[in-house]
Amino acid sequence: MPWQQLLSPQARLPIAGLEEWYASLLERLTNPTPLQLAMLGGRLAASPGLAFLAGYQGALRALWPAAPWTLGALCVTENRSTRPADMSTRINALTLAGRKDFVTAAEAADWLLVAAREEAAGAPVQLALGVVRNGAPGVQIETLPALPLMPDVSHGRLHLHGAQRERLAGDGWDDYVKPFRTLEDTHVLAALTAWLFGVGQESAWPQALQLRLLSLLAGCAEVARQCPSSADCHLMLAGLFAQFDSLRSDLDDAFATGDAHWAQLWQRDKGLLAIAGSARSKRLQKAQAVLGITL
């Protein structure tokens, strides 16, 4: 991790369309690792939403190292559920058909990883992961209204009608969807913490707060080295989120005494890390059971 680049003063990238912003980010970086993409992207982001986008793209590349450098998205949710048994999207010999209801940065994404069922009739549910290109025949994006949280990162619904696909090797659930939850948590936490560190550096926050944010980034770097399906990784990640939660009151105080622009962005988007809190809690409980420890 090029820590000096992260720690030194940086000119933030100007706000633009997601594709343009991401292209500008890649121009500033040289073949970044997934974590470097998340951290440095967060540091250069002008909003928590753009920091999230950098973390999300980093997580996708940790999941699929051969991913193109263009923007991508993982498409899992159907009817507010991510359970394989609730999915109706199917992958056939050469095509994908179905619908995904929540796709991050849908309009801007160049490629889409799609979780789809592939088991034979009457067999246990089996997921595969297919890859399609946005705009290809049979691939349609329906843009949805902006959300109150991170309105600068669009989302949409994916419609697939016999779309030509590539199938990634392995099991769609165990090898991709399940570990992505941990990868996304780790990389988005790193990106948002890097954004906060940059705001704190520019706003002359108390040194102790800046150093605590830096220590959180160091923790993210270590967790990113772990297997995302392992119990020890889930335990360590829970520790990082506990550390982040302990900073919330100090962060609110720091924002309250600084630039109103940063404070408004933080108040709008600070809940983004709470979205997957229930899933993280379940993973922590399972990790403690596997490791035979009680915290």
Of 29, 90, 14, nearest to 61 (Cα)?
29
Tell me the angle at which helices 178-203 and 248-256 cross, rounded to the nearest 10 degrees.
40
Residue 242 CA, chain-centre distance (Å), reads 19
pLDDT at 1: 60
Residue range 185-220, pLDDT digits in tens:
999 999 999 999 999 999 999 999 999 999 999 999
pLDDT at 295: 84
Q: Are 269 and 48 in contact (CB under 8 A)?
A: yes
Q: Which CATH class is domain 72-167?
A: mainly beta
Residue 236 CA, chain-centre distance (Å), reads 18
Per-residue pLDDT of the chain (295 residues; tens, 9 = 90+): 678 888 988 899 998 899 999 999 999 998 899 999 999 999 999 999 999 999 999 999 999 999 999 999 999 999 999 999 999 999 988 899 999 999 999 999 999 999 999 999 899 999 999 999 999 999 999 999 999 999 999 999 999 999 999 999 999 999 999 999 999 999 999 999 999 999 999 999 999 999 999 999 999 999 999 999 999 999 999 999 999 999 999 999 999 999 999 999 999 999 998 888 889 999 999 999 999 998 8
Residue ranges per structural domain of the chain: 3-63+175-291, 72-167
Q: Are 92 and 161 in contact (CB under 8 A)?
A: no
Residue 229: count other Cβ atoms within 10 Å of its Cβ: 15
What does the alpha-carbon distance between residue 115 and residue 277 come to, in Å, rounded to a whole number? 22
Which residue shows structure tokens 């507010």?
A: 80
Give CA separation, 229 vs 42, 178, 189, 199, 284, in Å.
25, 8, 18, 33, 12
What does the alpha-carbon distance between residue 255 and residue 5 come to, in Å, rounded to a whole number? 24
Nearest-10 Cα torsion for 89, 91, 96, 102: 40
pTM for this entry: 0.97
